[in-house]
Chain A
Amino acid sequence: MSNPSNYCGTNAHHISRRAFLSQALAVGSGSLLGSSGAIHALDETSINDALRKTGRSVILLWLAGGSSQLETWDPKPGRPTGGPYDSIPTSVPGVHISELMPKMAKRMHRTAIIRSLNTRDGGHGTGAEMMLRGRKNEAALQYPDLGSVIAKELGRADSRVPGYVSFYSQTEGRGSGKLSPAFLGARYAPMNLDDSTMPPNLTRLEAINDLDHRDRARLRELLSARFSAGRETETMRSHASAYARVHGLMSSEPLFDIEKEPRWVRNWYGPSLFGQQALMARRMVEAGVSFVRVSRAWWDSHGQNFETHAEMVPELDHVMATLLDDLDQRGLLESTLVVAYGEFGRTPTINASLGRDHFADAWSAALYGCGIQGGSVWGKTDEDGRKVVEGEVGAGELFATILAAVGIDPNHEYQVGARPVPLVNPGIRPIRDLLA
């Protein structure tokens, strides 16, 4: 028996004919606003929305390996599944979180929690792929990941900074969840900072001086333009524009140099790599990068869950709180959405090694900043945290919420060949209660 859950943009899935036609129209008539605004080119309020969108960014704090919801956002103290840690009250009356997160508890009125994620996939690789794309790939269609979509929708075509940066300096678990722009193409692929905090090939080599570097680029441009006359294709134009971005990107080099931050700011974020990368993420969104992923690994606590979380949760608490305060002080919190989750949560049942295993049936995510209603809590698990009893949502709803929070219509469609592909599967809606 097969369970059809795929979508391919036909009447069979009730797609809006109006949306389809208006997109076709916008494509046909050329778009003033780039693809992000194209679909609503006829709608004045949407144009305003589109203009407001520029300057918005998303930071994803990727908790690789799967952090425990019970030691963070959904504690169950005193229950057999609860573990040794207590819960504490927060700045929002009635909402309690783990005692390991005192700083975020004080900032709960600015933060939203989802406690009812049921994403059904407890595999590191497949779970990570789904949580990065908001849905499963199809046999015939691979979906772009969140960063690529955000970079396309919020970024500027002529940006001098990268649209999408992904940090992953931890060695463990890097193979899980490969990032991919899929059909959005290389323009929206992540700049991966796997091995160092400086992107590859961003720095001019000693072998050539700055003047020659620029001059030879001009010579290259001239030679290419001569060749392209009478032969130009879209791909050839993309070749020219890729080179046109080189010097702009090279000038963003200081962005990646954390030494440029005052010492007290670096100390504020703390000495951990996670903290330093969160600070880099702030530098980047300040400079106009649309999407930054910062990863913290490795949460996969099959054994000694409580020691692991005793070490890692306070760090998460500190970094999240510092990032919130820093963004706020700089006036960036209104335009920056911060989201924290990983590929899944952890089992309520504590295993024989005092660990918790993979668990995708009832877990949590946290959001603050742009478009988010602080102090809101969505969904509920049962008293032992074994299943969702209220407000069950999946990866799709989480994605729709993220997109809606930064002003992107989740029903917006891309055209892939003959097929319209919406940003989230049809029927999936944002969690309105979490949106400001």
Chain B
Amino acid sequence: MRYLSPSLHLTNGKSSARGAWVLSLAMVCGAIASAADAAKPWWEKMDPATLPAANLPMAEVIDRCIDQKLKQRDMMPALTAPLETRLRRLMLDLHGRVPTVGELDAFVAEGDSPEAWARHVDRIMASQAFDRHLSNELNWLLMDGQGTEFKKYLDLAVTKKKGWDVVFRDAVAGQVDTESRPGVDQFLRQRVMDTDRMANDVSVRFFGVNISCAQCHDHPYVKDWTQDTYYGMKSFFDRTFDNGGFVGEREYGQISFKTSKGKEKPATLSFLGGAPLTDPASMEPNEEQKKAERALLEQLKKDKKPPPPAQYSRRARLIETGLSTEQQHWFARAIVNRVWDRLFGCGLVMPLDQMHGENTPSHPELMQWLARDLAANGYDLRRLIRGIVTSKAWQRDSRWQSDTRPARNLFAVAHPRPLTPRQQAMSLRFAAMEPAYLAPSKAKPEEIEQRILNTERGASGYERWFERPGEDFQVSVDEALFLSNSNDVQGQLLDGSGLVKAMEALPEVAERIRLAGKAVWQRELSEEEVSLLASYLDARGDRPQAGLRQIVWAMLSSAEFRFNY
């Protein structure tokens, strides 16, 4: 059996990008000059001199690039948001929930300085809750939240601080190892019945480009993308197959396709329209060999064993090519853009799956700088996240008082983002619980960690009522009905609310209202708001507890709670 060989030549570290990312020629050569340049992708048209120095702090580079563009437009950005708003935003983005009253007080007590902010960020990022939320987000990015087994791999990869390149490598290679890569093959298994989907999914999720338009005809908007590009990419996956629930790969086989003119054409292995790649010589097996292969595969199916890995793997070839010095700019930009989009509600390139050469980012130098920095630092997503959330641009207010709101991709004002199901479910639980439950004075740190974990788990049942926001997201009426009339909300969040009990324990009405404001909205209410809510309570003098529950409900179901602003 020479077609299914026992070892896989796919080792970590081979052609690794770590440490020494040389700016590829593709990224820096030439300024916009000649007519010939017009056909080049945007990154080839950039002047290398416009890129800020590599050793500058990331937050500084972000602010310099964003502010420069605002200055060109003669536009003043929004002011920095109040500290409580920023802490709420930080906790939602990094832990997936709002902070409790106790946590908020502890943060605020440290004052509002860049140093204190950096300490908050580091403390929040060092927590296990940060790992859980990041892993959950990556599971959405790669598996649409459905990776029950793959999630185990992601949990481990995040805890062990694996670089994004390693996650890509592991997912596309699909070699399970119970110690270090449990469930990793689910990424391929879930897609193995449809290699078109596999090719497109890998292109979209790891390289930021949707090539499916070029499946039936040359891409309408990107001149360089032809059917050859599509089938060149698909060729990395066309030898991959399912064998009784295991993923195998052959060492032979070539696809062909029908051109838009109706001609049959063999596909050539190539990466995103790059130069053709040649496979090592392989022979199509004869009938007898094929028969033996089928028999072996049948036997493995019966034995519930995976097929032996291919000696020469086209998927391994994709990993090697995608992370090569010349090509890794696709990979680096794609994840920069995803993380940026997650934290700002708008990518540097939109749409997220159209990161091709003719779709210039809003801030090209920033995109190139961040991609270079990420690749040079082992694709460490924490470094990128930390850089973004310590920038001034990320900490802006979401309110725009004068005339027309500026375009989202100017990042002049924070964009209010709808919460994800996980953020909303967890925030409901954390906001409605006893406000001091997580206060450091109440229990030992390990005990508090456990309380947080238990509360997070208790919230997961709510997630199904909410939809994961995509572009042009609309809130469903099912969600409004759930919050208005469900036993879960009434029983667990209102009737049994630790918050309402704590409010009742306070003597003054105004104090009760202020506590609700801090627990649910993470801020001090204005006098006007307090008197508005007091008059609502006043009208319910005969049923004070019901009144308190109702104002907590009105705050929990309001836009202020529903959005990360």
Contacts and interface: CB of A to CB of B under 8 A. Distances in A.
Q: Is this pair of chains taken from one and the same complex?
A: yes
Interface of A: 1-8, 10-13, 138-141, 162, 185-187, 189, 191, 199-205, 207-208, 212-213, 215-217, 219-220, 222-224, 226-231, 233-236, 238-240, 242-243, 245-246, 249-250, 417-419
B255 interface: yes
Interface string B524-543: 00000100110010011000
Contact of A186 (B221, B467, B495, B565): B467
A414 to B, nearest CB: 12
A8 B216 contact: yes
Interface in B194-228: 194, 196-197, 199-201, 204, 210, 212-213, 215-218, 220-221
Nearest to A140: B212
Contacts, number: 191
Interface residues on B, range: 35 or more
Given A140-B212, A186-B477, A233-B416, 9 more contacts: A2-B196, A4-B260, A8-B216, A203-B485, A220-B557, A231-B563, A234-B474, A242-B474, A249-B481
B416 to A, nearest CB: 5
Contacts of A4: 215-217, 257-258, 260
B565 A231 contact: yes
Given A139-B200, A208-B546, A186 B258 contact: no
B474 A186 contact: yes
Given A205-B485, A207-B490, A215-B550, A231 B398 contact: yes
Interface of B: 194, 196-197, 199-201, 204, 210, 212-213, 215-218, 220-221, 231, 255-258, 260, 264, 351, 353-354, 398-401, 415-416, 418, 467, 469, 471-482, 484-487, 490, 494-495, 529, 532-533, 536, 539-540, 546, 550-551, 553-555, 557-560, 562-563, 565
B194 A201 contact: no
A246 B264 contact: no
Given A234-B472, A242-B477, A246-B477, A216 B398 contact: no
- Interface hub of A1, A212, A229, A245 (most chain B Cβ within 10 A): A212
B196 A230 contact: no
A220 B558 contact: yes
Contacts of B353: 140
9 contacts: A12-B220, A139-B197, A139-B201, A140-B200, A204-B485, A208-B546, A230-B400, A231-B563, A239-B559
A5 B401 CA distance: 50
A182 to B, nearest CB: 11
Contacts of A186: 467, 474-479
A228 B475 CA distance: 15
Contacts of A8: 212-213, 216, 220
B194 to A, nearest CB: 7
A219 B534 CA distance: 12
Given A8-B212, A216-B550, A231-B565, A1 B258 contact: yes
A199 B482 CA distance: 11
A11 B401 CA distance: 44
Contacts of A204: 485
Contact of B257 (A2, A185, A217, A242): A2
Interface centre among B478, B533, B546, B559 (most CB of A within 10 A): B559
A250 B220 CA distance: 48
Contacts of B213: 8, 10, 419
Contact of A220 (B217, B471, B490, B554): B554
Contact of B484 (A140, A217, A222): A217
Given A201-B485, A205-B490, A239-B475, A12 B258 contact: no
Given A205-B485, A216-B550, A223-B558, A139 B400 contact: no
Contacts of A199: 481
A200 B562 contact: no
Contacts of A201: 478, 481-482, 484-486
A2 B213 CA distance: 14
A220 B533 CA distance: 11
Nearest to B259: A4
Contacts of B216: 4-8, 12-13
**Chain A to chain B: the 3 pairs with minimum beta-carbon distance, closest first:** A186-B476, A12-B217, A4-B216
Q: Which of A13, A220, A226, A236 has the most CB of B within 10 A?
A: A220
A5 B210 CA distance: 18
B490 A228 contact: no
Contacts of A139: 194, 196-197, 199-201, 212, 215
Contacts of A234: 472, 474
B123 to A, nearest CB: 29
A231 B78 CA distance: 12
A214 B454 CA distance: 34
A233 B220 contact: no
B257 A1 contact: yes
A147 B204 CA distance: 29
Contacts of B476: 186-187, 189, 242
Nearest to A5: B216
A10 B204 contact: no
B475 A224 contact: no
B100 to A, nearest CB: 21
Contacts of B231: 2
Contacts of A202: 481, 485
B319 to A, nearest CB: 21
Contacts of B215: 2, 4, 6, 139
B257 A224 contact: no
Contacts of A240: 559
Given A139-B200, A235-B469, A242-B479, A12 B400 contact: no
Contact of A243 (B532, B533, B546, B557): B557
